[in-house]
Chain A
Amino acid sequence: MTNDLLVVENMVKRYGGLLATDDLSFSLHEGELHAIIGPNGAGKTTLVKQLTGEISSDSGSVILADKNIERYSEPARSHLGIARSFQITSLFPDFTVLENVLLAVQAHSGHSFRFWKRATEVADLVEPACAILQRIGLEARKNTPVAALSHGEQRQLEIAMALASNPKLLLLDEPMAGMSVEDSGKLMTILQDLKSKVTILLIEHDMDVVFTLADRITVLVYGRAIATGTPTEIRNNADVRDAYLGEEA
């Protein structure tokens, strides 16, 4: 039908009197890197949670590859190809790096009623997990418990976990949050590499990153999309300047 991988129509989420997502509609083209920017409290993380199914919308619909998935649970959407990374690192701290990615691979390799063989000795899981770690640059740390990783490494692992399911749509919720300049440079390379291989929705505060990477940008203010367009269009949009970018851009 279209070349849109994801279409969001009239999505609403209300928390008491607060409209976190206010009649939001937008779409993601297949293969694009689409950034969502907006001030704190604009409803960016709420939007991610609504897309993954962690929270349900009050109304509206989410259409993935021409299929309405509004009623699908979070695990079911993961199996349809939606994966996310978390703004606040959410890993398995007492597992090793490899065991973390292994678990994410395992989730997409049939059922887990396998009671006997050590998970870390199942080649069908270990090989893809190691490949992802290599791609993300964490292979040397694979036997390190997550709790012993640096913040930057944990952020990298966040991305690796999301990639492990081989997603069609990757939702990255502020992947650079709290990273050193050096680490975010590394992550930038990783994202550049990922771009065009998978459709990405990127939420990010670092405008340099957004304007360098994004094919299109949507500006979210109080749960509403006030503009969508190419980086140049957004930079020159008067409403966006007023609401968010200000003199910065």
Chain B
Amino acid sequence: MNPSPRFMVNAGLLIALAAAPLIAEWLGDSFYTGLLSRVLILAIAALSLNLLIGYGGMVSFGHAAYIGVGAYMVGIGAFHAFEDGIDWMLNGYIQVLAAIFGSALIALVIGLISLRTRGVYFIMITMAFSQMLYFTAVGVEIYGADDGLTIYERSDMLGLIDMSDEKSLYYLIFVSLLIVLYGLHRLIGSQFGAVIRGTKSNEARMRSIGFSPYKYRLAAFVIAGSIAGYAGFLMANLNDFVSPDMMHWTRSGDLIIMIVLGGISSLFGPVYGAVAFLFLEELLSSIPLTIGGLRVGEYWQLIFGPLLIVIVLYARNGIDSFLPREERRA
């Protein structure tokens, strides 16, 4: 079987991402490794959100909350290891499990209630829950309240991965992205995926042929939340810092923008979206032009906003529309 042009483009992107830190090193500029690490972590989170939005028709507007929960697990672990000498709390594997299961549990509770609603109500209720978590984090004095927590020591992976080395952290993130991509690819094509997609497409018919979609939608909601929680674990290690800001509803909005920008009805769309979003942010905010004493770069969103509108209006499925068509697999 010959690889399709779309496959080549996607593979090209992944190869470029695999080679990026080596090129950055060769150029002697490690700034891009850090930026790309951030891009890929957000790509993982956006991919998980796209399972809900793109494939399940569940427009969750609180997805950043799970990133925050995962990140706080690292922050809290590092805090107690540092302040109270509780060493096991620095163990990266325990932190990963805490991040995944902690965010899964929160997604379960939020999903149990939110998934009883549809449409605008679902958007509002998921956003309200995420804001509750945001204000909870703001209120917890011991963990820095709205100042956040500085992480003095990254997760201890027991010598297997050196999280303090930017390059090995990058490759951990990159491999995680590959696993999430393949896992979602399988999930979407599976019987479970068929139920999720079918419910987005025609819920009335799903009920008529004998499905009760609620439990499947809830499972998808929990899966997406736990992947985002894992992204939070990575993000905390990258930033050496966690704060309530990570959970603010505008961060959830950024994730939705990435998905829309990249294309909601394709597997790779959110990856393209995350790359484009962060590079545009970087590019536009460094415009050196000054008008009337105001630096244009500081108001980069004034340019980004209309750009997004143009993309949504003229490219139905974001960046994905510009890539070669995927041959349909039956």
Q: Mark B181-222, 1 if CB is under 8 A from A, else 0.
A: 000001101111111011001101111111110001001000
In the complex formed, the residue of B with least CB distance to A74 is B207
> Which residues of chain B have C-beta atoms less than 8 A from A78's C-beta?
207-210
By a CB distance below 8 angstroms, the chain B residues around A143 are 330
In whole angstroms, how far apart are the Cα atoms of A157 and B192 in the complex? 22
Q: Mark B283-299, 1 if CB is under 8 A from A, else 0.
A: 00000000000000000
Q: Say whether B202 contacts A116, CB under 8 Å.
A: no
Interface pair B201/A94, CB less than 8 Å apart: yes
Q: Quick one: closest B residue to A80, CB to CB?
A: B210
- Residue of B with least CB distance to A53: B207
Chain B: interface residue total (CB-CB under 8 A): 26
Could you say which residues of chain A place their CB within 8 Å of the CB of B216? 112-113
- CB of B116 closer than 8 Å to a CB of A: no
CB distance from A81 to the nearest CB of B (A): 10
| CB-defined contacts of A54 to chain B, threshold 8 Å | 204, 207-208
Question: What is the minimal beta-carbon distance from A224 to any residue of chain B, in angstroms?
Answer: 26
Q: Are A103 and B209 in contact (CB under 8 A)?
A: yes
Contacts of B192 in A (CB 8 A): 112-115
Tell me if B201 and A93 are in contact (CB < 8 A).
yes
Q: In the complex, which residues of chain B have a beta carbon less than 8 angstroms from the beta carbon of A37? A: none
Q: Are B198 and A92 neighbours in the complex by a CB distance under 8 Å?
A: yes
Contact yes or no, A91 B190, CB < 8 A: no
Asked if residues A103 and B194 are in contact (CB atoms below 8 Å), the reply is yes
Say whether B208 contacts A91, CB under 8 Å: no
- Is A47 an interface residue when CB atoms closer than 8 A count as contact? no
Residues of B within 8 A of A244 (CB): none
Say whether A36 faces chain B, with CB atoms less than 8 Å apart.
no
Q: A90-B204, A92-B201 are contacts. A117–B190 as well, Cβ < 8 Å?
A: yes
Known: A92-B201, A92-B202, A95-B201. A161 touches B209 (CB 8 A): yes
Query: In A83-111, which residues have CB < 8 Å from any B CB?
Result: 83-84, 86, 90-96, 98-99, 102-104, 106-108
Rounded to whole angstroms, the CA-CA distance of A247 and B161 in the bound complex is 87
Determine, out of A19-27, A118-126, A175-183, the stretch whose residues face the partner at the interface. A118-126
Interfacial chain A residues near B190, Cβ < 8 Å: 114-119
B187 contacts A115, CB within 8 Å?
yes
Bound Cα distance from A115 to B187, whole angstroms: 5
How far, in angstroms, from A73 to B213 measured CA to CA in the complex? 13
Q: Quick check: is A164 within 8 A (CB to CB) of the other chain? A: yes
Contact assessment for B330 and A91 in the assembled complex, using a CB-CB cutoff below 8 Å = no
A112–B218 Cα gap in the complex (Å)? 13
Residue among A86, A91, A118, A145 with the highest chain B CB neighbour number at 10 A = A118
The docked-state distance in angstroms from the alpha carbon of A116 to that of B219 is: 14
Q: How far is the CB of B33 from chain A (nearest CB, A)?
A: 33
Interface residues of B in 138-179 (CB under 8 A from A): none
Give chain B residues whose Cβ lies under 8 Å from the Cβ of A74. 207-208
B330 lies within 8 A of A106 (CB): no
